[in-house]
Amino acid sequence: MKQILILCTGNSCRSIMAEGLLNQQFNNLLEVKSAGTKPSGKINANAKKILQQNNAWNDNFYSKNINDIFNIDFDLVITVCDGAKETCPIFPKPVKKIHVGFEDPDGKDFAVFEELWLEMNERLIKEVDNFISNS
């Protein structure tokens, strides 16, 4: 099973949402984890709500530091914010990295999270489909 890391700065909104979405969409093909370069230590309530509404929430989700999962041999790293793209660490083994940036919804209305969910469905799934096809 392929291992994918979604990397963001705070690991509270975008990366958690992407983790839930991709685990739901590629359930038996991939194992997706998320982490932050400077994790907030909490999951945004609206991110959790959108994941719950779309049956993509997992009670094991939490805001974690990249160091907590650094020993996993990821096949793909997707950065979802510019900060994580700029500070993405060097991994022990060569790993493909791509950037699919999204606006930070933190502090905004729930409607922004709904729009982000739709955008992630469109853009992230396409990128991961391409990765699977070319692996």
The catalytically annotated residue of 4, 6, 7, 8 is: 8
Active site residue 13: no
Please pick, among 69, 88, 125, 132, the residue that the annotation labels catalytic: 88
Q: Measured between alpha carbons, how far is 38 from 51 in angstroms, rounded to an integer?
A: 22
Which residue type does 109 have? Answer: D
35, 43, 77, 81: the catalytic one is 81
| Selected residue with higher pLDDT from 88 and 2 | 2
pLDDT at 23: 96
Q: What is the CATH number of the domain that holds 51?
A: 3.40.50.2300
Structure confidence by residue, pLDDT tens digits, 24-40: 999 888 999 999 999 99
Q: What angle do CA 90, 65, 4 make, to 5 degrees?
A: 60
What does the block give as tokens for 119? 């955008």
Radius of gyration of the chain (CA): 13
In the chain, the number of structural domains is: 1
Domain that holds residue 32: 2-133
State if pTM tops 0.85: yes
Alpha carbons within 13 angstroms on the beta-carbon side of residue 58 total 17
Contact 8, 79 (CB under 8 A): yes
Percentage with pLDDT > 90 across the chain:
80
First to last CA, the chain: 12
